[in-house]
């Protein structure tokens, strides 16, 4: 199916208005100001759309300020056929729903997009390189993400664009992840000190997703790599030592330790992630070869993010 951002009218639907959805919506709205043929809508659950107060109302007001229309729907509760009917009137769908829907949700959304013959689809693949990781990483949702890629590549009606971002920058420093322990001035390295991780802020992901969406010539059926930063765990430890201004503790988490942690705490999501990131490939790529680097687009590094947290 031929898709073009130069069409006379293009209706875009963004799924979700959360941690990533809002930055994508803001960036798409800003770009749409110079592309008058583009209209942007967002899919929200009914109760979120009609909230009378609190954060949900504030979000609804922010969406109105961005000139973004709200479409009511429920990615968890509605069937493939029902979602397909919702998607059918849109020229492009950008999926920012995340993993909150539980196992199988991303497969269902993708099936609905394909059944609706949506001309262009940005799936929820804002993470690692699932092709390189393959199956059996220990993360069930990662296996599902690989299956989404298989579904997209097995058809020709819907053009797709996968934006590989690495992890959200904030997650690397989240105490729950268990890599940076600020309280004890300790940095842990999953697998090897030379293992690296790519990370990008949601704001940069939103901005770059909009740039990729409107890029000419149009990007079709490709995996596009972006990065705020890519650094080894050794470089991360050096960064934290400079920030903490003194000696720190550096601890290697070997594969045996990580596997034991998962076996002892099988429901611990962070333990599974530490194991999944203890690898030399698939979770990091050279920033100099990314879309943002090739086009001279500045993104926030880990050091800049840390400085920004301190300043705020």
pLDDT at 57: 83
pLDDT band at 46 (very low <50, low <70, confident <90, very high): confident
pLDDT (mean) for 42-48: 83
pLDDT at 258: 94
CB 140 within 8 A of CB 102: no
3-7, 136-140, 288-292: the lowest-pLDDT one? 3-7
Q: And the tokens for 209?
A: 């997703």
Q: Is the pLDDT of residue 157 over 80?
A: yes
Q: Report if residue 87 sits inside a domain.
A: yes
How many other C-beta atoms lie within 10 A of the C-beta of residue 150? 9
Task: Compute the distance between CA of residue 273 and CA of residue 38 in angstroms, rounded to an integer.
Answer: 38
Q: Report if residue 68 sits inside a domain.
A: yes
pLDDT in tens, 175-227: 999 999 999 999 999 999 999 999 999 999 999 999 999 999 999 999 999 99
Task: Compute the distance between CA of residue 285 and CA of residue 49 in angstroms, rounded to an integer.
Answer: 38
pLDDT band at 48 (very low <50, low <70, confident <90, very high): low
pLDDT (mean) for 267-295: 94
Task: Compute the distance between CA of residue 28 and CA of residue 67 in angstroms, rounded to an integer.
Answer: 11
Q: Report if residue 189 sits inside a domain.
A: no
pLDDT in tens, 88-132: 999 999 999 998 778 899 999 999 999 999 999 999 999 999 999
pLDDT (mean) for 152-161: 98
Averaged confidence pLDDT in the chain: 93
pLDDT band at 1 (very low <50, low <70, confident <90, very high): very low
Q: Report if residue 50 sits inside a domain.
A: yes
Range of the domain at 206: 10-164+201-226+285-291
Q: Report if residue 270 sits inside a domain.
A: no
pLDDT band at 138 (very low <50, low <70, confident <90, very high): low
Give the Å distances, CA to CA, from 62 to 13, 14, 17, 96: 17, 15, 11, 17
pLDDT (mean) for 239-244: 96
Q: Is the pLDDT of residue 312 over 60?
A: no
Residues 6+ apart with CB under 8 A from 35: 5, 10, 214
pLDDT at 52: 63
Task: Compute the distance between CA of residue 175 and CA of residue 273 in angstroms, rounded to an integer.
Answer: 13
pLDDT (mean) for 240-245: 95
Q: Report if residue 44 sits inside a domain.
A: yes
Query: What CATH number is given to the structural domain containing 46?
Result: 3.40.50.720
Q: What's the per-residue H, E or C state across the chain? A: CCCCCCCCCEEEEEECCCCCHHHHHHHHHHHHCCCCCEEEEEEECHHHHCCCCHHHHHHHHHHHHCCCEEEECCCCCCCHHHHHHHHCCCCEEEECCCCCCCCCHHHHHHHHHHHCCCCEEECCCCCCCHHHHCCCCCCHHHHHHHHHHHHHHCCCCCEEEEEECCEEHHHHCCCCCCCEECCCCEEEEECCCCCEEEEECHHHHHHHHHHHHHCCCCCCCEEEECCCEEEEHHHHHHHHHHHHCCCCEEEEECHHHHHHHHHHCCCCHHHHHHHHCCCCCCCCCCHHHCHHHHCCCCCCCHHHHHHHHHHC
End-to-end Cα distance, the chain: 47
From the list 182, 188, 191, 111, the residue with the least C-alpha distance to 151 is 111
- The verdict on pTM exceeding 0.75 is yes
The total of structural domains in the chain comes to 1
């Amino acid at each position: 199916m031929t898709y073009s951002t130069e069409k006379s009218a293009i209706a875009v639907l963004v799924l979700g208005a959360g941690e990533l959805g809002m930055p994508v919506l803001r960036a798409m709205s800003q770009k749409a100001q110079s592309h008058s043929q583009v209209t942007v809508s967002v899919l929200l659950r009914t109760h979120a759309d009609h909230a009378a107060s609190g954060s949900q109302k504030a979000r609804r007001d922010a969406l109105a300020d961005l000139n973004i229309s709200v479409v009511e729907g429920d990615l968890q509760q509605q069937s493939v056929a029902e979602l397909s009917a919702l998607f059918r009137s849109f020229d492009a769908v950008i999926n920012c729903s995340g993993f909150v829907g539980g196992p199988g949700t991303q497969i269902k959304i993708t099936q609905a997009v394909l059944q609706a013959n949506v001309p262009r689809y940005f799936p929820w693949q804002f993470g690692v390189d699932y092709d390189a990781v393959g199956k059996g990483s220990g993360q069930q949702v990662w296996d599902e993400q690989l299956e989404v890629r298989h579904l997209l590549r097995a058809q020709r009606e819907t053009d797709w664009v996968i934006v590989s971002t690495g992890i959200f920058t904030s997650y690397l420093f989240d105490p729950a992840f268990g890599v940076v322990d600020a309280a004890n001035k300790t940095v842990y390295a999953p697998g090897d000190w030379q293992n690296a991780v790519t990370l990008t802020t949601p704001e940069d992901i939103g901005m770059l997703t909009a740039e990729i969406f409107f890029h000419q010539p149009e990007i079709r059926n490709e995996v596009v790599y972006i990065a705020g930063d890519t650094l080894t765990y050794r470089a991360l430890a050096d960064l934290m030592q400079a920030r903490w201004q003194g000696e720190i503790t550096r601890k290697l988490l070997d594969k045996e330790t990580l596997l034991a942690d998962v076996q002892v705490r099988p429901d611990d999501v962070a333990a599974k992630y530490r194991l999944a990131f203890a690898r030399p490939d698939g979770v990091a790529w050279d920033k100099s070869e990314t879309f943002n680097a090739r086009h001279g687009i500045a993104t926030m590094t880990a050091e800049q993010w840390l400085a920004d947290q301190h300043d705020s």
